[in-house]
């Protein structure tokens, strides 16, 4: 167990997390040739948090930050189990379980279709208080499915922690709250945009287009889709 001994303020955690994501080029902005999201809609932004596992100093610092954030917000003895969400959340779930000195499990997106046909791998059961860990959250939809799977074991899950939260789609946190789940995050697109401006990481035109998207993503997507 390697609990962090310092608790930086949330604003500093957000700024440094954004800086690390930019440093390893996990952040991609391209207004001229937008990315296509899983929904099929266009976006001038894309983030690849999976890259973090390949940078030991950065991933270690971010896990310190995530542990700080969760312990400060949820409590020091709030959890008995840490679950990673398949697939990107599994390594971060393992890192967090190690930090907190807790058993680690992971949740499949769907039953594997053979053997025990389970969605939960590892040991989880009645009375466990589970922290669900993933790399990022967009609208919170996948978190609800994972939480439901966790609760079928008799465990409770009232908290999910992510490194990155989009924070641009209305109702995401409210949708989780309706399911009795609190979202903890290190930074958002707004933090990344602010740090990108500070660093001059992208040209002014690209940053202006990204800001327009972040302020009204659906309208930006509709305009581009029609175009």
- Give domain limits for the chain: 10-226
Contacts of residue 223, defined as CB under 8 A and 6 or more positions apart, other chains included, come to: none
Residue 88: left if φ>0, alpha if ψ -120 to 50, beta else—which one?
alpha
- DSSP run (H or E) holding 182: strand 182-188
| Fold assignment, 10-226 | Rossmann fold (3.40.50)
Mean pLDDT of 3-17: 91
pTM of the shown model: 0.93
pLDDT in tens, 28-67: 999 889 998 777 788 999 999 999 999 999 999 999 999 9
Of the pLDDT bands very low, low, confident and very high (cuts 50, 70, 90), residue 13 is: very high
Structure tokens at 56: 């030991």
- Whose tokens are 């029609």? That residue is 226
- Whose tokens are 């058993």? That residue is 103
């Amino acid at each position: 167990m390697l609990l962090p001994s310092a608790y930086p303020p949330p604003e500093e955690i957000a700024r440094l997390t954004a800086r690390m994501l930019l440093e390893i080029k996990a952040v991609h902005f391209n207004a001229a040739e937008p990315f296509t999201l899983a929904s099929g809609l266009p976006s001038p932004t894309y983030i690849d948090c999976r890259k973090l596992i390949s940078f030991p100093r950065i991933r270690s610092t971010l896990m310190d930050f995530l542990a700080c954030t969760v312990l400060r917000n949820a409590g020091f003895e709030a959890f008995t189990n840490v679950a990673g969400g398949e697939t990107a959340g599994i390594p971060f779930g393992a890192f967090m379980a190690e930090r907190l000195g807790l058993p680690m499990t992971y949740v499949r997106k769907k039953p594997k279709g053979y053997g025990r046909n389970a969605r939960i791998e590892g040991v989880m059961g009645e009375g466990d208080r589970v922290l669900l860990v993933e790399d990022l959250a967009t609208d919170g939809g996948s978190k609800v499915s994972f939480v439901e799977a966790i609760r079928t074991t008799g465990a409770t899950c009232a908290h999910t922690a992510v490194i990155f939260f989009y924070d641009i789609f209305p109702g995401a946190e409210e949708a989780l709250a309706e399911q009795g789940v609190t979202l903890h995050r290190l930074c958002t697109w707004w933090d990344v945009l602010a740090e990108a401006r500070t660093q001059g990481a992208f040209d002014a035109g690209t940053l202006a287009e990204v800001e327009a998207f972040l302020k009204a993503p659906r309208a930006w997507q509709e305009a581009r889709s029609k175009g």
